[in-house]
């Protein structure tokens, strides 16, 4: 197969590309330039997409003996991922930019361009497995599963891609035992990125100060912090900077009557108000979502599943049913704590991904 290998400049994508070459595919490497200011995107091990990363990707391609190109997708990234991030926070929701990057960039802009250029698949360094199953009628389907290494599993952020794009994707690292094993393989293959630190946090917030980034982009918008009864207990500089479940940085002027800590329960953008309350009020048992993507036929009646609302969260027992063409409703048996509108809701059956949606309502 003709395979386009996405080379981020890190160890995972380099080893994934090496495995694709070793499997006999005709591989071409491409680095996605996503930042308008690439020289400013890496601080220590934070971020990605810097000039340093592009150079590391080129050197990996040289070691593997494959052609290498840089595609400038910075405008697309700014107009989709960054714009969505700002709009969601401004609307009082909590987005996951990695999910949106996979949706709009890696498995839309990149994959669609690769297909137009005649490539059969895109290879990435994501930790997830693709299993091919044959039905009784002889038809073949591909399933998205968790990676063997649960600590590195990225099926949660990949679930948004859907079955059509899964059919044109390769994840060679899904079966590795650990990140240490990937680094050891990179050393054995002579790849200089074997000891390179992982990028983490939000790639376009290089210093890790998300509230500062939001403040710079959205400006100061002073408002009130209130308790569940509506009493004013503090002030803030912008409701958009708070997330459901947050405890630190609330700057409350009045302690709770019972002396217990308080958490953000709700962000109300219409009134620029942040609502705080006791920890037990964070637990929800019912979720609704939209923009649903299914890897199985959408269930029209209640079906058992496991629900996960954070990239490295713990899946919990639940029941799910589809509501309309792109809606979903989930009942959580024991409850979930601190779920906010905007979060990605991924549904599993064991290791298999059933579907994904964006949370719109979290309640009791």
Q: Cite the active site residues.
A: 101, 203
Q: Are 145 and 174 in contact (CB under 8 A)?
A: yes
As a dihedral over the C-alpha atoms of residue 194, residue 196, residue 198, residue 204, rounded to 10 degrees, the angle is: -130
Instruction: Look at residue 15 and give its three-state secondary structure.
Output: helix
Pairing verdict, β 68-72 and 140-146 = unpaired
DSSP character for 177? Answer: S
Q: Are 154 and 127 in contact (CB under 8 A)?
A: yes
Pairing verdict, β 283-294 and 273-277 = unpaired
Q: Are 178 and 200 in contact (CB under 8 A)?
A: no
Phi/psi at 109 (nearest 5 deg)?
Answer: -60, -50
Among the listed residues 99, 159, 102, 171, the one whose alpha carbon sits nearest the alpha carbon of residue 132? 171
Element holding 319 (H helix, E strand): strand 316-323
Element holding 88 (H helix, E strand): helix 83-90
Rounded to 5°, angle at Cα 108 from 53 and 214: 65
């Amino acid at each position: 197969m003709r395979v386009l290998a996405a080379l981020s400049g890190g160890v995972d994508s380099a080893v994934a590309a090496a495995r694709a070459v070793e499997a006999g595919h005709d591989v071409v490497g491409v680095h996605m330039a996503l930042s308008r200011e690439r020289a400013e995107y890496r601080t220590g091990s934070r971020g990605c997409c810097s000039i340093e990363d592009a150079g590391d990707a080129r050197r990996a391609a040289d070691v593997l003996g494959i052609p290498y190109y840089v595609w400038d997708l910075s405008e697309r990234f700014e107009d989709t991922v960054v714009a969505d991030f700002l709009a969601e926070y401004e609307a009082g929701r909590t987005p996951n930019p990695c999910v949106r990057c996979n949706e709009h960039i890696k498995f839309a802009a990149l994959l669609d361009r690769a297909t137009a250029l005649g490539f059969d698949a895109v290879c990435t360094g994501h930790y997830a497995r693709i299993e091919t199953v044959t039905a009784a009628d002889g038809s073949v389907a591909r399933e998205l599963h968790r990676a063997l290494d649960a600590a590195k599993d990225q099926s949660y952020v990949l679930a948004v891609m859907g079955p059509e794009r899964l059919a044109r994707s390769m994840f060679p690292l899904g079966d590795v035992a650990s990140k240490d094993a990937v680094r050891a393989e990179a050393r054995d293959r002579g790849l200089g990125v074997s000891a390179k630190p992982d990028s983490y946090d939000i790639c376009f917030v290089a210093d890790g100060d998300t509230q500062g980034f939001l403040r710079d982009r959205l400006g100061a918008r002073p408002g009130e912090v209130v308790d569940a009864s509506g009493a004013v207990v503090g002030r803030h500089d912008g409701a958009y900077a708070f997330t459901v479940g947050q405890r630190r940085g609330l700057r409350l002027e009045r302690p709770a009557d019972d002396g217990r800590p308080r958490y953000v329960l709700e962000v109300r953008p219409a009134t620029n108000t942040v609502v705080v309350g006791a920890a037990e009020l964070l637990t929800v048992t019912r979720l609704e979502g939209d923009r649903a993507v299914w890897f199985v036929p959408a269930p029209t009646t209640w079906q058992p599943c496991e629900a996960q609302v954070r990239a490295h969260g713990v899946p919990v027992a639940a029941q799910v049913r589809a509501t309309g063409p792109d809606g979903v409703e989930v009942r959580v048996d024991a409850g979930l704590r601190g779920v906010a509108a905007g979060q990605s809701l991924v549904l599993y059956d064991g290791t298999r991904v059933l579907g994904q949606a964006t949370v719109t309502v979290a309640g009791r």
